[in-house]
Amino acid sequence: MLPLHSIGRSARPGAREAITGTTAQDARQDHPCLRSCQPGERKRHLAFRASGTWRSAQWEGQRKRKAEHMHQAERNGYPGGRRFRDERLLAAKVTAVRAAVPGMTDVTLRGPAFARFACKPGAHLPVEVPGGAQGPVLRTYSVWRHTPADASLTLRIALHHPGGPGSAWAGAVTPGERVRTGVPRNRIVLDPRARHHVFVGEETGAVPLLTMLDALPPGAVSHGVLETTGPEAEFPAPDGERTLRWVHRGRASAAASPVLVAAVRRLELPPGPGVAYVAGEAATCRAVVRHFVTERGWPRFAVKTQTHWTPGKCGIL
229/211 Cα distance (integer angstroms):
20
Q: Do 142 and 227 fall within a single domain?
A: no
Q: Strand pairing of 303-309 and 137-147?
A: unpaired
Q: Do 131 and 162 fall within a single domain?
A: yes
Q: Do 72 and 26 fall within a single domain?
A: no
pTM: 0.74
CA-wise closest residue to 158 among 94, 241, 227, 68: 227
Residue 61 has a pLDDT of 66
Domain boundaries, position 172: 86-181
Residue 206 has a pLDDT of 98
Q: Do 113 and 135 fall within a single domain?
A: yes
| pLDDT confidence tier of residue 53, bands split at 50, 70 and 90 | low
115/42 Cα distance (integer angstroms):
59
Q: Do 217 and 294 fall within a single domain?
A: yes
Return the minimum-mean-pLDDT range out of 60-64, 180-184, 248-252. 60-64
Of residues 85 and 147, the one with the higher pLDDT is 147
Residue 100 has a pLDDT of 96
- In this predicted model, what pLDDT tens digit does every residue of 89-138 receive, in sequence order? 999 999 999 999 999 999 999 999 999 988 999 999 999 999 888 889 99
Q: Strand pairing of 275-281 and 303-309?
A: parallel
Residue 65 has a pLDDT of 63
Q: Do 165 and 236 fall within a single domain?
A: no
Question: Edge-to-edge, what's the strand order for the sheet holding 303-309?
Answer: 245-248, 222-228, 197-202, 275-281, 303-309
Partnered with residue 313 across adjacent β-strands are 310
Q: Do 202 and 305 fall within a single domain?
A: yes
| Contact yes or no for 274/197 (Cβ under 8 A) | yes
Domain membership flag for residue 189: no
| Contact yes or no for 90/181 (Cβ under 8 A) | yes
Question: Has residue 187 got a pLDDT over 80?
Answer: yes
Sign of the dihedral through C-alpha 84, 87, 88, 92: positive
Residue 50 has a pLDDT of 56
Number of separate domains in the chain: 4
- In this predicted model, what pLDDT tens digit does every residue of 279-313 receive, in sequence order? 999 999 999 999 999 999 999 999 999 999 998 88
Residue 63 has a pLDDT of 63
**CATH number of the domain bearing residue 257:** 3.40.50.80
